[in-house]
Structure 1
Amino acid sequence: MGSTKYNVLFMRDDDTVKRYRISPFWLKVLFWFVFLLAVCAGVGAWAGYSFWGNNVQLKQDNIELQKRLTDASVQLERLENVNKILDSYDPNDIQTILASVPVEEKKAVAEVPGVDLKKLLAYKNLMRAGVENVKLQKSGRSLVLSFDLNNLQPSSALSGLARIELIENVGKGIAVKSNEDDMSFHIQRFKVVRTRFGIPAGLDLDDLYGIRLMIETKKDELIFSEVYPLSRMLN
């Protein structure tokens, strides 16, 4: 009984019958091998599915984190812009000017609708275009503006047009007609923009508070807008 073996026959129509004798031990080994292989395959499939689900969740968390970081960056830049504008005013000068204004003029000024600071200081940045090294120079009755324009998403080219608006002290915006060849762009990474434009007739620099720089795509989508006080840009 100890030498019991199993006979396995292989028969073909065009060949002789082949017989193999297999020990019960090897049959048990083969059975357990197949069983363990199936268990390992099941565990691997479950682990792969679990890791895939965790990876999807991590990607969603990363996207949400990037969105919060972008929003925080925009808020920080907006606060820095407001701080620059507030710093451009001298409280002592303002008090001196108010003290020298007659009562009648103060009353007339009080009746003029106030400046909408939210509109005046409107800031927008979709993190698609970066603007740096903004400089302004006076040349007679003209102003020369230059700045560095960066494509923050270099995986695709950025095309569009930069526009300029002068902001009067009363909060009124005046569109500037600049050379379109200077202000248009099609960049993969970087471009230095430089243009010259005249000061509107009837106005002096003392009548102007600042300059608004706007970046639009070729689809007329506004992706960047910021106001720069002249007191910070002109010496």
Structure 2
Amino acid sequence: MNDTKYSILFMRDDLDVRRFRLNPFWLKALVFTLVMLVVLASGGIYFGATALLDNLALKRENTELARRLKEAELRLTTLENMEKILESYDSSDLQSLLQNPEATTDTAADADDQTPDINLSELFPRVDTGSVRLEDMRLNLGPKQLQVNFNLLNNLNNTLLSGDTELALVTNDGRVVPLETQGTDLSFQIQRRKPMRARISLPDAVEADSVYGVRLTVKREDGKVIFSETYPQHRLD
């Protein structure tokens, strides 16, 4: 029984019959090897699919964390903006207001005549409809000009997006000064992305030292604002 062998015959019309004798051990080893290859391939597919699902879950988690970080940055920017506005007021007036708020009621009308009302929601509006995304933002504010560099990405798949980009300066005293962007390449008609580059001269009436930040607004062709953000000067490159 131990001498049992399997014969394998190879026959061709133009050649003699060839016979190979195979020990049952090698036949079993071949079958075992094929089974192991199938098992290993199945295991590889399983672990590959598991790793892919884990990767997708991590991407979703990363997206959620990025969204929370963006919201936290927005709240921080709003607080910084409020702090900057409060710093522009006289400290003694603020101190008296905190210590005796009722005492300021009688002088509120006179103060209104001397100090213009500042609406923070108008000074620092933020709009993000999700239609576009800005990457690699660089705003360089010099003594006489503003240099703008960023990539504008279209988030609307298979949709051609057209519009224009507007810039304005926000001063320390609460003024919003629009910048003249005619002659610059800040209009867009994009399917996926467009690099935006421009150099804009500052108005003669505005000194760079008096600028608190730069407001960037992206509008569609129909005039609807799809993105607006104010970038404080200390965060500009």
Alignment TM-score, normalising by the size of structure 2: 0.60
Q: What pairs up with 1:8-87 in 2 under 5 angstroms? A: 8-87=8-87
Q: Which has the larger radius of gyration?
A: 1
- Following TM superposition, by how much is the alpha carbon of 1:214 offset from its aligned partner in structure 2, in angstroms? 3.7
- For residues 196 and 49 of structure 1, what CA distance do their matches in structure 2 show? 59
Query: Could you report, residue by residue, the CA deviation over 1:158-180 in whole angstroms, capped at 9, with x for unpaired residues?
Result: x944343789x8x8x88758462
- Conservation of the 8 A alpha-carbon contact between 2:82 and 2:120: no
- Conservation of the 8 A alpha-carbon contact between 2:184 and 2:198: no
Query: Could you report, residue by residue, the CA deviation over 1:24-49 in whole angstroms, capped at 9, with x for unpaired residues?
Result: 11112112111211111111111111
- Conservation of the 8 A alpha-carbon contact between 1:165 and 1:174: yes
Indicate yes or no: 2:230 matched with 1:226: yes
Q: Per the alignment, do residues 131 and 79 of structure 1 end up closer, same or farther by CA in structure 2, a change over 3 Å counting?
A: farther
Report what 2:146 is aligned to.
147
- For residues 176 and 52 of structure 2, what CA distance do their matches in structure 1 show? 55
Alignment TM-score, normalising by the size of structure 1: 0.61
Larger mean CA deviation between 87-96 and 57-66 belongs to 87-96
Helix, strand or coil at the partner of 1:8? strand
Structural RMSD (CA):
4.6
Gaps of 5+ in 2: 97-103, 154-162, 189-193, 207-211
- For residues 147 and 84 of structure 1, what CA distance do their matches in structure 2 show? 21
Q: What pairs up with 1:186-201 in 2 under 5 angstroms? A: 188=195, 191-196=198-203
- For residues 213 and 20 of structure 2, what CA distance do their matches in structure 1 show? 94
Report what 1:119 is aligned to.
122
- Conservation of the 8 A alpha-carbon contact between 2:185 and 2:198: no
Gaps of 5+ in 1: 137-143, 200-209, 230-235
- Conservation of the 8 A alpha-carbon contact between 1:215 and 1:225: yes
- For residues 33 and 61 of structure 2, what CA distance do their matches in structure 1 show? 42
- Following TM superposition, by how much is the alpha carbon of 1:18 offset from its aligned partner in structure 2, in angstroms? 1.5
Report what 2:182 is aligned to.
180
Query: Could you report, residue by residue, the CA deviation over 1:48-95 in whole angstroms, capped at 9, with x for unpaired residues?
Result: 111111111111112222222222222212211111011111143579
Report what 2:217 is aligned to.
215
Q: Percent identity?
A: 26
- For residues 118 and 70 of structure 2, what CA distance do their matches in structure 1 show? 29
Helix, strand or coil at the partner of 1:119? helix
Helix, strand or coil at the partner of 1:89? coil
